[in-house]
Amino acid sequence: MKQERLRNIAIIAHVDHGKTTIVDKLLRQAGTFRSNEQVADRVMDSNDLERERGITILSKNTSLVYKDVKINIVDTPGHADFGGEVERILTMVDAVLLLVDAFEGCMPQTRFVLKKALALGKKPIVVVNKIDRPMARPAEVIDEVLDLFIDLGADDSQIEFPVVYASAREGYASLDPNVREGDMRPLLDAILEHAPAPEGDADAPLQLLFSNIDYDEYIGRIGVGRVERGSVKTGDSAVLCHRDGSQERVKITRLYQFEGLKRAECDSASVGDLVAVAGLNDLNIGETVCNPDCIEPLPFVKIDEPTVSMNFIVNNSPFAGKEGKFVTSRNLRERLFKEVETNISMRVEETDSADTFKVSGRGELHLSILIETMRRQGYEFQVSRPRVIYTQDEQGRTLSLWNCLW
């Protein structure tokens, strides 16, 4: 059964290639905003740190309705340090929009996510943005994209990707690289045509797979995922299947879907829908909620293990207390343990010293982003040098996963 009224897509883009602008224009084209609604100019805006690093760190969901079809748009993190997350985010979608600057062409930061998307069989749609730039070189950029696809092992159908030329800033898109006017409808039409509608049986017993965890000051932990089979209503009893094999009876008390930039509470959702569920306090990423009469959890996508660790230590140097607002061991502890609730491939451990916490992550970037985020939030602390984590295989050989990432 196909859900013809639904499309789930992810956007892959290098920073500054126009993702925020294009999502904003698509939402406007679809009339997602009421005319009197105040819209922040930059809808999928990244935080400062993302901008400086050239990658998306968090992933956000947006949706619009065009020609009676709901299009969910998911943002993707863009670096190998976030590998585990990327795979899970991509399980929510059926197609990816690869957004490329018509002058700059493909950039290395997007390579990793694109590779994962192609390997998972997602349907690519290439958008050559900033076609208005005087130096635009769309034909060469398409050649580069094609070379990259071949290099990354795209299959035949993926190599025959559709291309849409756009100027997100000027608000037009076209299948013809020479067009410099119009609106964004050609891109929305291309999404309806080329992104596969989700498939599945809406009448079968529920399977809801959570791929992301969000956190809200007021409602707490929120699971974000996709209904893989059946449907779900508020008030339903269900069984949450944990990673360790244990099961928990739960009730779906608060269900949301994405509407524009917001989470909107809803009564029900069906196969293919992306939903958010609040109230499941022990939920972890990769876990499934099932119908109590048919408990069939989906296979758990392995979370990548940490490869590097560092100690985070209360600042006891002569300069202590000069920069930060949050300086105590309790501040540091609370902040770090909060981080691991949503940052799934990160680990925090207590040590012999109450002032020192061992933090392990996927790579230097993963850890340095946490350090920098905390610094900007007013935390003051010291860190040790990063150490590579070693493990042993069955033959007793010492291995490090660290250099396997690349």
Nearer to ligand GDP, 103 or 312 (CB): 103
**Candidate segments 11-19, 147-155, 248-256, 282-290, binder of ligand GDP by CB under 6 A:** 11-19
HEC assignment per residue over the chain: CECCCEEEEEEEECCCCCHHHHHHHHHHHCCCCCCCCCCCCCCCCCCHHHHHHCCCCCCCEEEEEECCEEEEEEECCCCHHHHHHHHHHHHCCCEEEEEEECCCECCHHHHHHHHHHHHCCCEEEEEEECCCCCCCCHHHHHHHHHHHHHHCCCCHHHHCCCEEEEECCCCEEECCCCCCCCCCHHHHHHHHHHCCCCECCCCCCCEEEEEEEEEECCCEEEEEEEEEECEEECCCEEEEECCCCCEEEEECCEEEEEEECEEEEECEEECCCEEEEECCCCCCCCCEEECCCCCCCCCCCCCCCCCEEEEEEECCCCCCCCCCCECCHHHHHHHHHHHHHHCCCCEEEECCCCCEEEEEECCHHHHHHHHHHHHHCCECEEECCCEECEEECCCCCEEECHHHHC
Whole-Å CA distances, 300 to 236, 289, 362 = 23, 12, 19
**Candidate segments 124-132, 142-150, 155-163, 392-400, binder of ligand GDP by CB under 6 A:** 124-132
CB of 53 to ligand GDP, least distance (A): 11
CB of 46 to ligand GDP, least distance (A): 6
**Candidate segments 13-21, 118-126, 330-338, 373-381, binder of ligand GDP by CB under 6 A:** 13-21
Nearer to ligand GDP, 176 or 349 (CB): 176
- Does 259 bind ligand GDP (CB under 6 A)? Our answer is no
Whole-Å CA distances, 251 to 200, 232, 236, 270, 287 = 23, 11, 6, 17, 15
Nearer to ligand GDP, 18 or 272 (CB): 18
- Does 236 bind ligand GDP (CB under 6 A)? Our answer is no
- Does 168 bind ligand GDP (CB under 6 A)? Our answer is yes
- Does 18 bind ligand GDP (CB under 6 A)? Our answer is yes
- Does 137 bind ligand GDP (CB under 6 A)? Our answer is no
Alpha-carbon gap, residue 27 to 54, rounded angstroms? 24
- Does 59 bind ligand GDP (CB under 6 A)? Our answer is no
Q: Under rule CB under 6 A, how many of the chain's residues touch ligand GDP? A: 15
CB of 393 to ligand GDP, least distance (A): 41
- Does 96 bind ligand GDP (CB under 6 A)? Our answer is no
**Candidate segments 27-35, 129-137, 181-189, 325-333, binder of ligand GDP by CB under 6 A:** 129-137
Query: Which of 58, 107, 132, 234 lies at the binding interface for ligand GDP (CB under 6 A)?
Result: 132
CB of 174 to ligand GDP, least distance (A): 12
CB of 168 to ligand GDP, least distance (A): 4
Nearer to ligand GDP, 6 or 23 (CB): 23
Query: Which of 109, 158, 167, 343 lies at the binding interface for ligand GDP (CB under 6 A)?
Result: 167
- Does 310 bind ligand GDP (CB under 6 A)? Our answer is no
Query: Which of 19, 53, 122, 226 lies at the binding interface for ligand GDP (CB under 6 A)?
Result: 19
- Does 174 bind ligand GDP (CB under 6 A)? Our answer is no
Nearer to ligand GDP, 132 or 236 (CB): 132
- Does 254 bind ligand GDP (CB under 6 A)? Our answer is no
CB of 129 to ligand GDP, least distance (A): 5
Alpha-carbon gap, residue 252 to 222, rounded angstroms? 12
Query: Which of 29, 129, 307, 331 lies at the binding interface for ligand GDP (CB under 6 A)?
Result: 129
Interaction site with ligand GDP (CB under 6 A): 13, 15-21, 129-130, 132-133, 167-169
